[in-house]
Each structure stands twice: as C-alpha cells, then as structure tokens.
Structure 1
C-alpha cells in the first residue's frame, strides 16, 4: 500500500507547504516563555520554514519526517553543509541548529527525545486520519517532559471526510489533548474561500515538575 504523503512529495502535490514562516508562530511563540536554548520537537515537519525561524530564535530543532524528498528540499534551500548519520532506525541529517530525522514519528523513543523541551505542531495532527490521532496525542505526550510548552495549529473545513489535511474540531482537540496537556485556545481564524479555518492552541504538558 502506497503512503499518501510519500506520493504527494514525489508528485509535488504539497499545497499545504507555506513559503514563509507561519504568522501565528511569530505572533504567539514568544508569549509561551519557552526557555532559550530549549530543543523544539517538530513532528511530521515536511520542509517547513517555521523550523528555520525557531532555530533563529536560538532553539535547536528536532524535526521528524517520513518523506526523504521533504528533507532534501529543506536542506537545499541553503548552501551550508549537511552532516548525515544513522540513529536507531532513522536517517539523521543536520544543518546548523536543525536536525531532521527521516522515519516514522511513532518509532521515536523517549530516550531519543531526551533533550526536548518544547514542541510545535503546525500540520501534524491534521495530517492523520481519525484512527491515528489518539495514538499521536498519546505518543507526543510520552516524548515531552512535564511543563513543556508548545503550539498546535489545527484546521477545520466543510468536508469532514476529505483529507489530508483533515478537519479536526476544537472538541476533538480537547478530547485528545486534555488528558495530558493544559490547553488554551489562542485564536480562531476566519474561513478562507475554500471554507478552511485555522485555530491556534497553546499546550502545556501536565505532570509534576522535576
């Protein structure tokens, strides 16, 4: 069975990719109070320019991406050298402060994410079909420590069956995330001409601080 995301990258059908930093990241990230130097986990990262922005704020970035095409296109945007090495089931590529791991996000172990102190989900949850979202929410919670903060940018649209990106309601986000995260809805955007509306959430991992 072909992976739909791999097919999209191979065929160049990546309308979900933004050619600029997402404005909500610029607007809301500073208010989270993520400590300087905290490593940011970016699941299902694609070739998002948001990772460059996070790195420019002084954060090491750990991006996880299944499609090698996305990773190669990300690093091709700059002429700086890329270091490559294997890491327990992943092919790792590093350029400056950005480290991209090519492989399955669900295979990332907590030991491999030991230095993570924050997270950013712009198009991860909405990339997954309903049956996989609960697994994603649980796995993300296992990878980030208590007190870790992050942003989640989600999407709703009129066709509940169409995707990816899939339509994920605020009620579903609360159901999935509330067991392990404290949530705050920061913004509900206006619907575009295709009926798609983004929402922005701040999340903080529950649990006793060490």
Structure 2
C-alpha cells in the first residue's frame, strides 16, 4: 500500500486532490466550536488546500504525509519562505502556520502531538485498505486528547458497485465500529452520489471521549 501511494504521487495519479477547499469543511467546521489558535492535525494530508483554509481561519496546522512530492508541491504552490528541520525520523517543513511532517503516520506518536487540539480527515481513512483501518482509528485516538473535536469525511458506494481503491468505500456501519469506542460521532450530512464514480460523501462530527464518557 505504501509503494502504491508513493507511485501515485510520482506519476501524478492524484485525482483525489481538490483544487479548492472542500465545501463540507467550509460549511461544517465553523459549527464544531473549535477555538481559534487550536492546532489541527491533518493525517495523510497530501497537498490539500484545506490546510491553507484552516490556517486562514486562525488554526495552526500539522499535516502528516508519506509522499515527499506532495509536500514539495504544497510548498511550491504556497510561494512563501520555508523552514526545514528533522525530528523523530520525520522531515519537517514549516510555511506560514502550516507544518508538514513527511513520513509514516503510524510513526507519529503522542510526544509529537502534545499541542494538537483538533483534527480533520478528508482523505486518510478512505486511502487505507480494510486491514489497516482499525490500526488507523486506534492510532488517531491515541493522538487526540479528550474533548478534542474533529471533522471526518467518508465515502460510500452503492451496493454492487466496484469496490477497488483507493479511495475505498467505507460504509456507515464500519465508521461507527471503528470510531465509536473512542469518539462520540454524529453524522452531519450525506452528499449526493458523484457522477461517474458512484461515491457518496458522508460528513461526520467527532469528539474524543474522556475517561468517564
């Protein structure tokens, strides 16, 4: 899976990338009640414009991305000064209030996540095959403090549609099974099926449970 992801970026097969911030982010994020100044974790971030949108709305952003090509393209498109350093096996680049950690999300640990207070997942879980999604949900829960809020977008396909990916079909029942042990989750929106792909986006609000929830 890691080699497939890197190959997609090397070859420019990035149809999942959007040329503008996601409408669901613009619509739903302000309603989550995340305070200005709270740092937002964006796993498997690619070169998403969503990170710049969050940055413009007073959130420091920490994106984690495996593909160096994605990181460098994001920085080139930003057109601002970049600072670079290395920590805990990650190559880290900072541009404005967006910080990109280039490396394996599963090697990012709680010691690096101390300042994170919110999260956003538009393309992380749906990029992972079934065998890895449980690991992802558990690891995300370890990084997010109790009470932290996030926005998550999953993809459904109609029954009988081809299920090859990425992106992968993740049904509602699986989303609940993966996240409800550690998060309070609320389905906010079911989008219209996308012409040609059959995908339907589901938008979720999530709150990390505390010890007594």
Q: Shorter chain as normaliser: what TM range?
A: over 0.9
CA drift of 1:113 comes to 0.5
**1:61-140 map, 5 Å:** 61-140=61-140
CA drift of 1:44 comes to 0.2
Contact 1:183 1:204 in 2 (8 A): yes
CA drift of 1:94 comes to 0.4
Counterpart among 164, 171, 181 of residue 169 in structure 1: 171
* TM-score with structure 2 setting the length: 0.96
Q: Deviations over 1:145-194 (max 9, x none)?
A: 00000000111124453000000001000000000000000000111222
Distance in 2 separating the partners of 1:79 and 1:146: 36
**1:1-210 map, 5 Å:** 3-158=3-158, 159=161, 161-193=163-195, 194-208=197-211
CA drift of 1:78 comes to 2.1
CA drift of 1:2 comes to 6.5
Contact 1:128 1:166 in 2 (8 A): yes
Q: 1:127 to 1:33 in 2, by over 3 A?
A: same
The number of aligned residues is 209
Contact 1:160 1:167 in 2 (8 A): no
Q: Write out the 4+ residue segments of structure 1 that deviate beyond 6 Å after TM superposition.
A: none
Q: 1:160 to 1:148 in 2, by over 3 A?
A: farther
CA drift of 1:208 comes to 4.3
Distance in 1 separating the partners of 2:149 and 2:88: 26
Root-mean-square deviation (CA, aligned residues, Å) is 1.3
Distance in 2 separating the partners of 1:45 and 1:65: 6
Distance in 1 separating the partners of 2:40 and 2:63: 8
Distance in 2 separating the partners of 1:84 and 1:146: 31
SS at match of 1:77: helix
Note the residue ranges of structure 2 that are not aligned, 5 or more in a row.
none
* TM-score with structure 1 setting the length: 0.97
Q: 1:147 to 1:132 in 2, by over 3 A?
A: same
